Chains A and B, each alone.
Chain A
Amino acid sequence: MDILNALVALLNFVVIPAAAYGAQLALGALGVTLIYGILRFSNFAHGDTMALGTAFVILVTWGLQALGVSLGPLPTALLALPVGIALTSLVVLGTDRGIYRFYRRKKSEPIILVMASVGVMFIMNGVTRLVIGVDEIRFDDGARFLFSVQQFKAWSGLTEGLSLRVSQALTLVITALACWALFRFLARSKAGKAMRAYADNEDLALLSGIEPERVVRLTWIIATALAVTAGTLYGLDKSFKAFNYFQILLPIFAASIVGGLGNPLGAVAGGFIVAFSEVAVTYPWKKVAGYLGYQSDGLLQLLSTEYKFAVSFVILIVVLLFRPTGLFRGKSY
């Protein structure tokens, strides 16, 4: 038995990566759930909004790097992030003006808006590839580790190593800040309360003098800011590849549905539930089991990593079968 080493291995290979991944999913799911609550449809273009936004951030980062601007140990992309958010918000508001508003005025069924968003998704997908290409791009500069495996081993004297990358720590800190700001905004500010009122009862909100188009615009901007932040953090943590952002849509939807669509707190919880399930199911537990005194010939891996998206599917199916409104009781239209 070597509980300390088992714990360190668990932290290094499961808890930290899953927490960072979960935070990225949570930010994405928050955007999906906000749009669902206010605009009443599932936005399939959300993943590609993340991709396009991250592409903008990368372009601006390159520009800044060419100018010799840097943030020292922090990635330059953080400086580029607000610009990326602004640019992507303009694009997204443009899609609302050009596409979604038309169906909103016609009071179309949600499924029609969903299909429209699939169209937007394909266009954004194509535009992203035209703008920045299909190759894998690494854009994380600055320091790589807060502390590395070697440093940890030297410090602790354990055989098992532990590292914390700057991108992972950044992901957790920025997600915590974004959630704090968002929940405070929704709970305290007049505009945030108007958003909740509109989500709760559209007609009564109208009677109370709340302007729907303003609420809708605000929702798009907040959802886009969250999406671009999520996309940039995901890209810093792993790498940027347009196709990955299309794929990440599934776990993001799973996260927002697990938490209950339309419920922001649920979206955050859902992000971590999906991420921890995915990492736990695809992690080979052989080493941790070994430290705990169980020697195994196999890898003790439930699913190989190629199948990680199956985890999202299973979670989705189970939730939809047994608790369709999600763990935190969202709503369905």
Chain B
Amino acid sequence: MAQPYLSATDMRGGYGKADILNGCTLTVDKGQIAVIVGPNGAGKSTAMKAVFGMLNLRDGAVTLGGEDITGLSPQERVRKGMGFVPQTHNIFPTMTVEENLQMGAYIREDDYRDTIAQVYELFPAVADKRRQNAGELSGGQRQQVAVGRALMTRPSLLMLDEPTAGVSPIVMDELFDRIIEVARTGISILMVEQNARQALEIADIGYVLVQGANRYTDSGKALMADPEVRRTFLGG
């Protein structure tokens, strides 16, 4: 079997003395949607931050497209093709939508106008507000700007930390639809989600983490069908 596009294996580490991740493994293939779910405090966001290099790993390795990137800083990983959308504070509020996208493309030296056009095509709602300050938009539209900003570097892996936190169910469905669309263009998606059921529905692969380690790993549908997973993590 060929190595998956992103492979983070046996990650161990935390912020202080105690480890939060205890041998967590995540892999995502090209164009796949991978979703991390699990109870509060299971280390979901921490696992994703570790993949992005925001956490020093004591053990384990991260490879992207076959290249070992374990020692790289988050900024260097962005240049390698990672895009990251933090859960909060993920836009520049007093800058316009267009300027937010321009800042997303800050490291690009080439002409990125076609990328901006693609983002507007993906999110027509924010395209209409391109001259408006991003901080004045609704919660769902801000998330769209945040995702659009991360797409500006044309990443091969897009990581989303709870993209639907605090948005209404309708907006959430809409956002998931867009994420599927992004994945169809060949971009791999790694996403942490609080809304486990809806997220697993669109997941090619789902990871259930408990106490910083993998508990169940399967396709989203299989996890949803597993009575054990349903009873323990999805509330019946």
Contacts and interface: CB of A to CB of B under 8 A. Distances in A.
Closest 10 CB pairs of A and B: A209-B107, A200-B92, A197-B103, A208-B106, A209-B106, A197-B92, A208-B103, A201-B92, A200-B94, A201-B89
B95 A200 contact: yes
A193 B104 contact: no
Contact of B74 (A190, A193, A205, A207): A207
B92 A204 contact: yes
B93 A207 contact: no
Interface stretch (B78-86, B116-124, B196-204): B78-86
Given A208-B149, A209-B79, A193 B103 contact: yes
A10 interface: no
B91 A201 contact: yes
A209 B79 CA distance: 9
Nearest to B104: A208
Interface string A157-201: 000000000000000000000000000000000100110110011
A204 B145 CA distance: 13
B102 interface: yes
B75 interface: yes
B217 interface: no
Interface string B46-76: 0000000000000000000000000000110
Interface range for B = 20 to 34
B48 to A, nearest CB: 14
B99 interface: yes
Nearest to A329: B94
A210 interface: yes
Given A194-B106, A204-B89, A209-B107, 12 more contacts: A190-B106, A196-B99, A197-B95, A197-B103, A201-B93, A203-B89, A204-B90, A204-B91, A205-B103, A208-B107, A209-B75, A209-B78
A196 B75 CA distance: 19
Contacts of A190: 106
B99 A193 contact: yes
Contacts of A201: 89, 91-93
A193 B102 CA distance: 9
A197 B89 CA distance: 12
Contacts of B95: 193, 196-197, 200
